[in-house]
Amino acid sequence: MSKKRGLHGWIRLLEGSQAAALSGLLKKLDSVTASDDSSAAQLSELILKDASLTSHIIRIGNSIQFNPSSTAVTTVSRAIINIGFKHIRSVCLAVKIMDSLLENGGSDLLFQRLAECLHAAHQTRGLCSKFNDTAREEAFIASLLSNLVELLVLSSGEDDVAELERKLRGVTTDKERNAVAEEVLGVRFDTLSKTLMKRWRIDGLVHQIYDPGATDSRLKAIELGESIVGATAKGPNSNAFKLALKESVKYTGKTGEQVRGVLTNSTYSAISALKEFGDERLINAVPEPGLSQSPKPAMDSFDASETDDRSNAASELAEDIEAARDKGDIEKPDSRSATESSVSSDHDPAAKSRSQSDALPVEGEMDECDGSALISPNPTIQLSALQKMSEMMLGDIQIKGFFKLLLGGLHKGVGLERSAFFLLDARRGCYSVKLASGSKTSDWPMSLIMKSGSGAGGLLDSLFKDDAPSCFKIKGAEGVLQHQKEIEALAYKTDSNAFILAPLSAKGKKIGLLYADMGVSHRSIDASHQAGFQQFFLQAKLALNVLAAR
């Protein structure tokens, strides 16, 4: 074997690589996204200077993860709105790393490690749910950058890399990888990484990874992200995975089942991101989750609640809704008129032949539930509602119409028998129903209230910290041990045995809640219901983000 290059030899080689340009891109992204005076137009201008990055961002902005309505996105500025202003930084970095390293192809091990590193970054972000959006993105980026040097070495095509790859196969821990690198290359990966980060003047959390005295608690999440990826390869029943799960429970303060849900969501998020590059080697490198009995689609990966600090959209939105209600733009449900409308359409051939996309229900619309006419999911109505909501966001969002479409889509599109929008009333310290859809909901605006001050660790407190929908059941639900009384209280008020509840917020301010159940027939809420609910939840978050950016 040829003489080992050592630290200085690899530094000289890697500093001349195309990936060194990442440091410049990261600094520019930091400058634009960190400034209160920056706009989507300025960020678009930066991205448009890179043709490859431009095409990737538009494609990602069109993905189901960020564009569930499938409304075509053809501009970078629109893609940025879909992805989220703050979130775009980590997306751009991941794209450029992938683009730079895979430009000339690569070995199977390179593809595997690329996928694993991105997977670890997504797991890190998922575990950091107790932090704000900016802190979570910093943790994601630090996790990704901490593995960049290894990826650069594997993509270098140098003669000694062949031996390195041979000895790295089957290795799953950083300790083992560093030992192999020192043996073959003459320098540890972490030593090489620390030196390059300094020479490239990349600031941030990544430097603390190499500092034994660092105290930032997000470093533990980065470590756990790596451990989870290595343990996942060994299977969910392995001792390594059980240990990683135990440590994650301790770190997050969540239950084992809740953490399994977080890990599953993060895995789906990573797979979704990898699919954008269209290479099966990348996608197959991350195993489909086998972490929970009923895995949910990735909900944690979308951070559209990240908002421009110049805006006070949260309070303004609440005021707009209240003003609309005072003016009569948001009516209380009227089950009588809705029922009459439903009956008349059944006897009117012209009305019955209307396009299904126009058949979205108004508040309080009744379902005949005699066992022969149970509501079922309708993909046509679901898609139509999502498309119309997207169109509304491109213009002036009308509060009444937007939330009517949202609830109607959940009801007639997703097939959830009842849905409601709760609005926070800070003065009264409660959430009360402002809009409802479905049978037996006509009295909800007058009677259905949830107290907002359940305290730290309460049901709503946990829900807003997770910033994602959760499905609760009277028995066997996630978190039921912690929130038994609160779950049963809401279920009793709505006469349901299970329900989905999701938080709505903007700029860190709580706006309200989305609720849905199958409380008419008392059928179970299945995975398709949860996936459909998630799409409308994402649209609601995106709408808040759009309002905040204006």
Give pLDDT tens digits for 152-184. Answer: 888 887 788 888 888 888 777 888 889 988 888
The answer to whether residue 478 scores a pLDDT higher than 70 is: no
Find tokens 């910290």 and name the residue. 465
CATH superfamily of 10-284: Hypothetical protein af1432 (1.10.3210.10)
SS3 content of the chain, % helix, strand, coil (to 5): 60, 10, 35
CATH placement of domain 313-549: 3.30.450.40
Task: Give CATH 3.30.450.40 domain extents, the chain.
Answer: 313-549
Six-digit token string for 330? 């948001």
Of 84, 93, 41, give the one whose Cα is nearest residue 65.
84
> What confidence tier does 482 reach under pLDDT thresholds 50, 70, 90?
low
Q: How many CA atoms lie within 13 A of 481 on its CB side?
A: 5
- Quote the percentage of the chain above a pLDDT of 70: 74
Q: Which residues pair with 373 in a beta bridge?
A: none
Under 8 Å between Cβ of 544 and 506: yes
Q: Where in the chain is the domain with CATH 1.10.3210.10?
A: 10-284
Is it the case that residue 249 has pLDDT exceeding 60? yes
- Poorest-pLDDT segment among 37-41, 183-187, 208-212: 37-41
pLDDT value at residue 145: 85
Share of the chain above pLDDT 90, in %: 12
pLDDT band at 402 (very low <50, low <70, confident <90, very high): confident
* Whether residue 27 has pLDDT greater than 80: no
Model pLDDT, residue 263: 85
53, 247, 475 from 137: Cα distances, Å: 19, 22, 36
- Indicate the pLDDT class of residue 234, thresholds 50, 70 and 90: confident
**Beta-bridge partners for 422:** 433, 513
pLDDT of 312 over the 60 cut:
no
pLDDT at 410 > cutoff 60:
yes
CA-CA-CA-CA torsion sign (145, 135, 264, 468): negative
> Residue 225 has what pLDDT?
93
pLDDT band at 217 (very low <50, low <70, confident <90, very high): very high
Cα(377)–Cα(536) distance, integer angstroms: 14
Residues 321 and 434: beta-carbon distance below 8 Å: yes
Q: pLDDT confidence of 419, banded at 50, 70, 90?
A: very high
d(CA 183, CA 337): 79
Q: Report helix, strand or coil for 432.
A: strand
* Amino acid of residue 296: K
Neighbouring C-beta atoms of residue 452, cutoff 10 Å: 18
Lowest mean pLDDT among 179-183, 278-282, 342-346, 531-535: 342-346
| pLDDT on residue 514 | 95
Please say whether the beta carbons of 381 and 412 come within 8 A. yes
Q: What is the rounded distance in angstroms from the CA atom of residue 153 to the CA atom of residue 235?
A: 28
Q: How far is CA 259 from the centre of its chain?
A: 15
**Look-up of token digits 């019955």:** 352
Q: Mean pLDDT highest for which of 127-136, 272-281, 496-505, 531-540? A: 496-505
Distance of CA 532 to the CA centre of its chain: 15
Q: Which residue, chain included where needed, has tokens 């059941």? A: 473
Of the two residues 453 and 416, the one the predictor is more confident about is: 416
What pLDDT does residue 453 have?
66
DSSP one-letter code for 4 = P
Angle at 126 between CA 539 and CA 236, to 5 degrees: 120
